[in-house]
């Protein structure tokens, strides 16, 4: 699933991270997933990312 344009961008450019906040998290929903080489992180309502 996902927006076709974002999936194409991740396949072409292979970014390390994709941050999004369009999906509100309720309960034990997944916050981090992976697509190819990209770690997809839901940052709603906020997230501190250290590297």
What's the whole-model pTM score? 0.75
Q: Confirm whether 29 is domain-assigned.
A: yes
Nearest Cα to 12, choosing from 35, 31, 34? 35
Q: What pLDDT sits at residue 15? A: 97
- State the pLDDT at residue 2: 60
Which domain does 27 fall in, by range?
Answer: 4-42
| 21 domain-assigned | yes
Give the pLDDT confidence of 2-51 residue by residue, as tens digits.
678 889 999 999 999 999 887 766 766 778 889 999 999 988 888 888 87
* Residue 51 forms part of a structural domain: no
- Does 12 map to a domain? yes
Whether residue 17 lies inside any domain: the answer is yes
**How many structural domains is the chain composed of?**
1
Give the span between the Cα atoms of 8 and 16, in whole angstroms. 15
Residue 28 resides in a domain: yes
Closest CA to 6 of 32, 33, 40, 29: 40
Cα(17)–Cα(38) distance, rounded to whole angstroms? 5
């Amino acid at each position: 699933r996902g927006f076709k344009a974002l999936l194409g961008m991740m396949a072409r450019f292979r970014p390390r991270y994709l941050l999004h906040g369009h999906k509100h998290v309720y309960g034990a929903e997944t916050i981090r997933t992976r697509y190819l080489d990209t770690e997809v992180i839901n940052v709603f309502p906020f997230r501190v990312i250290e590297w």
